[in-house]
Each structure stands twice: as structure tokens, then as C-alpha cells.
Structure 1
Amino acid sequence: MVEPNPCMTCGACCASFRVSFYWGETDAASGGLVPAHLTEAIAPHRVAMLGTNQAKPHCIALQGVVGECVSCTIYALRSSTCREFSASWEHGEPNPTCDRARANYGLPPIPEPLTQPFV
């Protein structure tokens, strides 16, 4: 039995951390995917998703209510930072950063699955 993806009811990582990456990942560069109009420059060669470079981050691409039901409006176009972030137990081990983001919203850590990882 495959567990449902807990990220679909969480979204805490998207509303806890700055999402920064190389500007060449935006569609302003040849081959880039992330919509540049959803980013802001933070250094000569780095951008951040709008809403994440502030004291209380919340990515502009995050839709829904954290801890209830969320989705990424640019999921297929998301940055490497987002693609590389793993939920706890997604790859068979806990992720303390995921757990910390969830705690920011009063959510418990994702429990270790008793079956195969979620999809």
C-alpha cells in the first residue's frame, strides 16, 4: 500500500524558508523554467521566489492553506531548490528541516511509514 503524499496537506516548507536559486533557472534565460516575474533579485546571479525573502516567508506560488490543503501553482516549473527538498521519510530517512517547517505551523513530524514511501 502506498501512503498519500503528506506534502499535499502541508506546504510548511514553502511558507518557512527563502527559496533562492541561480537566476539561469528562470525563463529569462535560455532553457530556464521558473517564471521570472515570480522572482526577485537577491544577488548578482541569484533570485528568490517572491514572498520568500522576508521575515515571514510565504512563496507566491503556494496556493491553499498550510497544514490543510496546498498546491504549487508552478510545480512542473519549480526551481532546483524545491525539486531537491525532500519531505521526511520520502527517501527512507527523516528530514529535520521538513520537521522544523512543520513545527512552525504546529504540525507534528511526518511519522515513519510502516509501508513503502508515499508517491
Structure 2
Amino acid sequence: MSPSVHAHDESPCTRCGACCAHFRVSFYWAEAAERGLPETLYEPLTPVLACMRGTYSKSPRCAALAGEIGRQVACSVYDQRTSPCRELQPGEEKCLQARARHGLPALPSH
């Protein structure tokens, strides 16, 4: 795991990663290039949508996620992460759903 990824971040997300291993992360295909996302980390989904590689499977886990779910994780492309990743907030409904799936306790909503 890169020491610069989340080094300044005290977010509970740096110890979780459940959302990265629960949801399909899909976004408008051009967003990947706009953010400088490496082509090896995403794949086409439809003619207008792409998704993070690894998230469109029966047991999803984003290819950009490093570490152990619920203990210590990091996103290898945190600064280039797509809009679904930027929008999900700790403690919101989707967060709680992902944490429950991985046997993690709920976080307080913000």
C-alpha cells in the first residue's frame, strides 16, 4: 500500500473498503480519461458507461483497492477516483449496506 494514499486522512474509509468490495462502480465512460484513470483499472459496461475493473462480478472488489477489508485499505488511484466513489459518504445508507455485508458495525451518519 502506498504511504501517500490517505496519509492525511483520518476517515473511517481508510480502515473499511467495504463499498469497494460490494458495489459495481459504474460511471460515464469519458470520466476515466478526464480523471487520468489508468486504462487497466476500468472496462466498458455499455456504449456510454464504464466500470471499475473487478466491480462487475459476483464477488466484486475494485482492482484499485489495496489492503484488507475492515482493517486497513487504500485506493491506489484515490486522487483520480470516479464520481460514484467521491459521492459515497461514510455512514450513509449505501455505506451501511456494504459494511453489513462484510460483517462490519454501522458507522454514525454525518
TM bucket, shorter chain: 0.7 to 0.9
Equivalent position of 1:110 in the other structure? 107
Any conservation in 1 of the 2:17–2:73 contact (CA below 8 Å)? yes
Whole-Å separation in 2 of the counterparts to 1:64 and 1:40: 22
- Alpha-carbon shift at residue 22 of structure 1 (Å): 0.6
2:46 paired with 1:49: no
Residue in structure 1 matched with residue 84 of structure 2 by the alignment: 81
State the aligned residue count. Answer: 101
Per the TM alignment, residue 97 of structure 1 is displaced from its structure 2 partner at its CA by 1.1
Return the TM-score normalized by structure 1.
Answer: 0.80
* SS of 1:37 mapped into structure 2: helix
Q: Which of 1, 8, 11 is 2:17 aligned to?
A: 11
**Percent identity of equivalent pairs:** 45
Name structure 2 gaps, 5 residues minimum: 1-9
Counterpart amino acid of 1:101? A
Give CA-to-partner distance per residue, 1:1-54, whole Å, 9 cap, x none: xxx311111000000000000110122xxx342222211111001100000001
Q: CA deviation at 1:110?
A: 0.7
Distance across 1 between alignment mates of 2:50 and 2:42: 6
Q: Which runs of 4+ in 1 moved over 4 A?
A: none
Q: How far did 1:111 drift?
A: 3.1
CA contact (8 A) 1:33 1:78 kept: no
Distance across 1 between alignment mates of 2:83 and 2:108: 26
Indicate the RMSD between aligned Cα atoms, in angstroms.
1.3
Match of 2:61 in 1: 58
Take 1:72 and 1:37, find their aligned partners in 2: how far apart are those partners?
A: 15
